[in-house]
Structure 1
């Protein structure tokens, strides 16, 4: 399997000038833990994660911070740390120039890349433009779905996956950002979080009605309120 077999498509992104408060709200509302920062051409400039936001302390509000946050930032007095902790825009607090991968990279190579660089996710690019993102959770989903490998991976699996994703997003009324679809030899597995039981069933029906699908395993769970995603 390759990166484009498990990657999350329709990635939620921010622009370099997006305000920190808006980024935090975006992470919470979409139950995700990081967003790529892209320019007008769709090129990946950086990534803002929950960790980057935790390093930020607003001027004049230290008295409202918990003691452990104060202790973390007590020694952060160099220029770089100052920008990270006081910046108000994505471009100021992001991790710049992140690693990216091509959509055809083998999942084994993706896993080794994440392990080697101690990162949780990696943007997927096509001709230098963002087309998806692969997280550790996506890799586990691919591993859980993988059966005996055929001599040649069926090209139809990717067409089936794209069709299901479009159906869920455009017609089923379900936000695709919290869902991942994995297809292996026509067998479909749905992973991620949805807001209601009706959405869980709608995603399953969308998959079952797609030509070429042999079986659907619905692993979607209801999202606890206030709990972030991966």
Structure 2
């Protein structure tokens, strides 16, 4: 799936000359936590988010340092923090180091960018202009669209069993799996030894994701790999 398939468009943005009051009002009224900052010609120049309003002079939350620590901080950094805590325009408090993506980026690339840069939203840019935005909510909606229906249809038990075995065989954590799989009317029973307790839940998840599975019962037992001791 590509970014274009999940992005929101048109984009709700704000101009850099807007006041921080306008930005805060827009975020609250639309129930969003951030806004791309866009010039009148559609060019992306920054992002303003709730985090940019945390350290404000009006709230008494601006950064405070001891005298000796203040001495170690460069005057430029202190000046920058002053602007962020007291600025009245979006352009003065926004983050201008914007992480963006493109229409044809894969969702894998989108999620990697979000995770690597610790951001909740990615503007989608084409020719320097903002054409969409992807938030974590957009990814959640995309997930809902592709999740299988909760009510499993009847399937062939042997085919279900083979599919689960194949899924386990393809997982590195299962190794040469010692997990035995049996299926009766869509009810899966997992039995046999596991060598790390975390494999128990992973095996259940692997089975639950196979089409036709109605429920999974767990008869697995944990064997400590060094001593061979069975741990209940």
- TM-score, L = length of structure 2: 0.56
Change (3 A) 1:34 1:44: same
Once the two structures are superposed, the pairs formed by residues 54-73 of structure 1 within 5 Å of their partners are 54-58=54-58, 65=59, 69-70=60-61, 73=63
- Separation in 1, partners of 2:57, 2:10: 31
- Separation in 2, partners of 1:108, 1:146: 15
Contact 1:84 1:93 in 2 (8 A): yes
Contact 1:44 1:97 in 2 (8 A): no
Q: Which runs of 5+ in 1 are unaligned?
A: 59-64, 149-230
- Separation in 2, partners of 1:35, 1:43: 14
> What is the Cα-based RMSD across aligned positions, in Å?
1.9
Q: Residue in 2 aligned with 1:144?
A: 144
Q: Residue in 2 aligned with 1:6?
A: 6
Q: Residue in 1 aligned with 2:47?
A: 47
Q: How many residues align?
A: 138
Runs of 4 or more above 6 Å deviation? none
Deviation at 1:9, TM superposition (A): 0.9
- Separation in 2, partners of 1:95, 1:123: 13
Q: Which runs of 5+ in 2 are unaligned?
A: 71-76, 149-232
Deviation at 1:96, TM superposition (A): 0.2
Deviation at 1:57, TM superposition (A): 2.1
- Separation in 1, partners of 2:124, 2:138: 13
Q: Residue in 2 aligned with 1:23?
A: 23
- Separation in 2, partners of 1:57, 1:27: 20
Once the two structures are superposed, the pairs formed by residues 126-165 of structure 1 within 5 Å of their partners are 126-146=126-146
Once the two structures are superposed, the pairs formed by residues 72-111 of structure 1 within 5 Å of their partners are 73-75=63-65, 78-111=78-111
- Where relative contact order (Cα < 8 A, 6+ residues apart) is larger, the structure is 1
Q: Secondary structure at the match of 1:142?
A: helix
Is residue 2:112 matched to residue 1:122? Answer: no
Q: Residue in 1 aligned with 2:112?
A: 112
Contact 1:38 1:44 in 2 (8 A): yes
- Separation in 2, partners of 1:42, 1:121: 18
- Separation in 1, partners of 2:143, 2:112: 14
Deviation at 1:146, TM superposition (A): 2.4
- Separation in 2, partners of 1:126, 1:21: 29
Q: Deviations over 1:42-65 (max 9, x none)?
A: 11100000110222223xxxxxx4
